[in-house]
């Protein structure tokens, strides 16, 4: 962990000077920034009293710093990548998400105890909250298929189960050298694996850097005999570990992940995870005598030891926030890695689609689908063909209207249907059903998100800033009736007998003759950009154009709607919701349903946090307008609350006004 910054440093005093003799500390901005946030000021020259020397692990340049430190009697800070690093290896140029800073040793060198080893040997590791965090995070790694280099695929069929997994490493790797291992050690390990499992297939797992052509491994083709084969497909290691009957390693991090997956790996080196009762050690380290649980090992190595970095907020953070970010990034990579063809996409949407889906391979725009090789094909909403992935705005969209061409900060991809069409199952519907089995950490995350959205008054379009306060509303049971765009796809596909704003108001009045009906026109209709304008005064007690939806929801008792997203936002605020159509949130036991809800939904009862997790965390993809990277929902919620969302330029604003002239011809620009 490195020496913690003093209270004076934490209060803003001069950080501790760290003298370095490796150019990477100067050229790698992310490494430098993490060190700065951890309380170190990188310097060139010679250290003085109270200064430290920084070296990168046991790299070839480390002896330079060690020699200076010895001459100047300065302590050494060893810096290494954390056990979760990035999508791709550092040699591909991607910055790390965390570092390990150690003033006593380096975690993979058994010659002397590192700070990680001291944690494992002496820390009580008995705090219930800490161990629960560890168990939850272990489950997240497995379920999201995260590993040190997370750009692994989950769409590759794993080998038939029953094999022995033997893990190769890169030749000359510092952890191998520190364990006093060499090529003969790897050959001995392979021999032992065959002796112990004479009838089993043996898969030799290549290192990611070997697969990428950066560095050779220890195993060579001549080392293999009958029943042995190399396995170098970029499949998630968690899928490989599921089918293995035994795991053999020298010092690979995959041995650590094997422990987390339930294995007791055979270890031929002396990595940090050996010697704690969780491995079968061929070269035991006598000073390690404590028996630990998997959760204890994980808590020390992944929660207490590293310094994790949050690039969206530019600060040090907890492991959970790193997992949030990595899950968003690896999802984008897995979905976009082969490239997309976007068919029939309006011109104004194309730059935003490129930002979302073209960071791996540029999106190609076409009028109609065709044969495009490995590329997947997408289309917008209901205009997409049956064989396309449908794209639509997410439920936290922007600060401004889509009809005004304000770019979205969230989009959804649906390979089954689309969320507002109840005639067939959508990907969201599948996620809602699966969300009945949320892990405890997922439940807490959804509950935190609900609090954030409601406390900050966030809705889909977030138009409240600058709007006048609500007028004093009449006393009584207040029912909000949100108007909708009457030619919207959600009405065409999801409404029942009640399909117009007038009919909606009439139904609400007929069922609630003594209630205070409050009608709020849809913002697209108010702006003159879409169809649906009515004279609501005849049926409603109050008509509130231009009102803040979040403030309105806080002021009413109930919401009556056809398919409006305001019904979902009302559920977040604990309001009763009556649906006369079949929106995505109807039919799960959270709403009063008077519309054509599909019978398949009524088989399931879903709690609000589960609905929120599926709808706002699992289903959409989010894009951070500040860093330009895929991000978790919490980042977008903060940007929306803080107003850090770019506004459309003059050309977009003029085009939006022109659209108002053709409000009845929305197909020309949607």
202-205 and 410-414: which strand pairing?
unpaired
d(CA 513, CA 511): 6
- The predicted-structure confidence for 588-644, as pLDDT tens digits, reads as follows 999 999 999 999 999 999 999 999 999 999 999 999 999 999 999 999 999 999 887
Report the distance separating Cα 13 and Cα 10, nearest Å: 7
pLDDT at 94 over 50: yes
pLDDT, mean of residues 574-601: 97
666 band by pLDDT with thresholds 50, 70 and 90: very low
Decide the pairing of beta strands 52-56 and 228-231.
unpaired
pTM: 0.92
Confidence of residue 647 (pLDDT cuts 50, 70, 90): low
DSSP 391: E
> For 76-88, how does the pLDDT look when each residue is reduced to its tens digit (9 = 90+)?
999 999 999 999 9
Q: What is the pLDDT of residues 247-257, one digit of tens each?
A: 999 999 999 99
Taking the C-alpha atoms of residue 171 and residue 184, their distance in angstroms, rounded to an integer, is: 12
pLDDT given at position 577: 98
pLDDT of residue 656: 41
Report the CATH fold assignment for 139-291.
Rossmann fold (3.40.50)
* pLDDT-derived band at 12, boundaries 50, 70, 90: low
* pLDDT tens profile 35-63: 999 999 999 999 999 999 999 999 999 99
The pLDDT value recorded for residue 136 is: 97
CATH class for the domain made up of 432-642: alpha beta
Residue that the structure tokens 């089918």 belong to: 243
CATH 3.40.50 domain residues, the chain:
7-121, 139-291, 432-642
pLDDT of 403 strictly over 60: no
The stretch 541-570 carries a mean pLDDT of 94
657 has a pLDDT exceeding 50: no
Q: Over pLDDT 70: what percentage of the chain?
A: 91
Q: What is the mean pLDDT of residues 319-331?
A: 98
Mean per-residue pLDDT, 357-379: 89
Average pLDDT over residues 375-389: 90
Lowest-confidence segment of 107-116, 152-161, 378-387, 567-576 by average pLDDT: 378-387
Q: Domain 7-121 falls in which CATH fold?
A: Rossmann fold (3.40.50)
Which residue from 203, 217, 128 is spatially nearest to 162, judged by alpha carbons?
203
Tokens of 320: 């959970």
The dihedrals phi and psi of 324, each to the nearest 5 degrees, come to -55, -50
Structure confidence at residue 465 (pLDDT): 57
Cβ contact 357:345 at 8 Å: no
DSSP state of 625: T
pLDDT of residue 665: 46
Q: How far is CA 56 from the centre of its chain?
A: 29
| Radius of gyration (C-alpha) of the chain in whole angstroms | 29
Choice between 480 and 373, residue whose per-residue pLDDT is larger:
480
Mean pLDDT of the chain: 91
Query: How many CB atoms sit inside 10 A of residue 452's CB?
Result: 15
Q: Of 591, 577, 589, whose CA–CA distance to 479 is shortest? A: 577
| Residue 103 pLDDT level (bands cut at 50, 70, 90) | very high
Position with higher pLDDT, 557 vs 643: 557
Region 178-189: mean pLDDT is 96
Higher pLDDT among residues 339 and 92, named by residue: 339
Q: What are phi and psi of 306, to 5 degrees?
A: -80, 165
- Comparing CA positions, the residue from 475, 487, 567 lying closest to residue 520 is 567
Q: Is 446 exposed, middle or buried (0-12, 13-18, 19+ CB in 10 A)?
A: buried
The band of 179, judged by pLDDT with boundaries at 50, 70 and 90, is: very high
Q: In which band, very low, low, confident or very high, does the pLDDT at 11 lie, cut at 50, 70 and 90?
A: very low
pLDDT digits (tens, 9 = 90+) for 487-533: 899 999 999 999 999 999 999 999 999 999 999 998 777 766 566 67
Q: Indicate the burial class of 84 (C-beta count within 10 angstroms; 0-12, 13-18, 19 or more).
A: buried
- Minimum mean pLDDT range among 403-412, 423-432, 593-602, 639-648: 639-648
Banded pLDDT at 400 (limits 50, 70, 90)? low
What's the pLDDT score for residue 416?
96
Specify the range with the lowest mean pLDDT, choosing from 83-87, 212-216, 361-365, 478-482.
212-216
């Amino acid at each position: 962990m490195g020496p913690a910054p003093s209270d004076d440093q934490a209060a803003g005093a001069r950080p501790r000077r760290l003298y370095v003799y490796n150019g990477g500390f100067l050229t790698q901005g992310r490494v430098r920034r993490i060190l700065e946030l951890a309380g170190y000021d990188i310097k060139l020259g010679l250290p003085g009293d109270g200064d430290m020397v920084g070296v990168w692990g046991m790299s070839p340049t480390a002896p330079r710093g060690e020699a200076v430190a010895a001459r100047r009697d300065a302590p050494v800070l060893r810096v290494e990548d954390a056990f979760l690093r990035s999508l791709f290896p550092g040699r591909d140029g991607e910055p790390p998400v965390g570092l390990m800073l150690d003033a006593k040793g380096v975690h993979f060198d058994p010659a002397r105890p590192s700070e990680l080893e001291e944690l494992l040997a002496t820390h009580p590791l008995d705090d219930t909250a800490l161990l629960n965090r560890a168990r939850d995070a272990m489950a997240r790694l497995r379920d999201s298929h995260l590993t040190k280099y997370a750009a692994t695929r989950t769409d590759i069929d794993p080998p038939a189960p029953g094999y022995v997994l033997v893990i190769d490493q890169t030749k000359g790797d510092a952890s191998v050298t520190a364990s006093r291992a060499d090529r003969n050690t790897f050959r001995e390990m392979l021999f032992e694996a065959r002796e112990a499992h004479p009838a089993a297939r043996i898969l030799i797992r290549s290192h990611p850097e070997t697969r990428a052509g950066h560095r050779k491994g220890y195993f060579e083709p001549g080392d293999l005999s009958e029943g042995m084969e190399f396995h170098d497909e970029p499949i998630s290691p968690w899928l490989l570990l599921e089918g293995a009957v035994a795991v053999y390693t020298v010092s690979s991090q995959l041995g650590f992940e094997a422990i987390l997956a339930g294995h007791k790996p055979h270890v031929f080196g002396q990595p940090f995870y050996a010697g704690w009762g969780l491995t079968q050690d061929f070269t035991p380290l006598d000073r390690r005598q404590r028996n630990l649980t998997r959760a204890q090992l994980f808590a020390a190595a992944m929660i207490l030891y590293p310094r994790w970095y949050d690039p969206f907020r530019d600060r040090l953070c907890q492991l959970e926030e790193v997992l949030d970010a990595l899950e968003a990034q690896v999802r984008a990579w897995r979905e976009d890695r082969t490239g997309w063809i976007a068919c029939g996409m309006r011109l104004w949407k194309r730059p935003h689609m490129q930002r979302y889906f073209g960071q791996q391979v540029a999106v190609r725009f076409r009028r109609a689908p065709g044969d495009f090789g490995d590329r997947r094909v997408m289309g917008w909403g209901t205009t997409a063909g049956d064989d396309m992935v449908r794209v639509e705005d997410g439920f936290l969209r922007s600060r401004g209207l889509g009809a005004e061409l304000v770019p979205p900060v969230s989009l959804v991809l649906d390979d089954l249907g689309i969320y507002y069409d109840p005639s067939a199952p959508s990907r969201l519907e599948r996620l809602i059903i699966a969300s009945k089995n949320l892990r405890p950490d997922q439940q807490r995350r959804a509950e935190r998100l609900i609090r954030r959205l409601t406390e900050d008054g966030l809705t889909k379009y977030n138009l409240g800033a600058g709007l006048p306060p609500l007028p004093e509303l009449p006393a009584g049971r207040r029912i909000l009736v949100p108007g909708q765009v009457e030619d919207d796809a959600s009405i065409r596909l999801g409404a029942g007998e009640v399909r117009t704003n007038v009919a909606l108001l009439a139904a609400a009045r007929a069922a609630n003759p003594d209630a205070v009906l409050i009608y709020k026109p849809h913002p697209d209709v108010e702006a003159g950009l879409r169809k649906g304008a009515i004279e609501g005064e005849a049926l409603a007690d109050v008509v509130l154009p231009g009102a803040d939806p979040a403030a309105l929801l806080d002021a009413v008792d109930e919401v009556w709607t056809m398919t409006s997203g305001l019904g979902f936002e009302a559920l977040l605020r604990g309001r009763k919701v009556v649906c006369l159509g079949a929106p995505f949130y109807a039919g799960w036991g959270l709403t009063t349903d008077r519309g054509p809800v599909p019978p398949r939904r009524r088989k399931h009862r879903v709690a609000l946090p589960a609905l929120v997790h599926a709808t706002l965390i699992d289903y959409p993809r989010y894009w951070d307008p500040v860093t330009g990277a895929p991000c978790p929902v919490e980042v977008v919620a903060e940007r929306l609350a803080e107003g850090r969302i770019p506004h459309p330029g003059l050309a977009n604003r003029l085009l939006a006004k022109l659209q108002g002239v053709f409000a009845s011809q929305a197909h020309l620009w949607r």
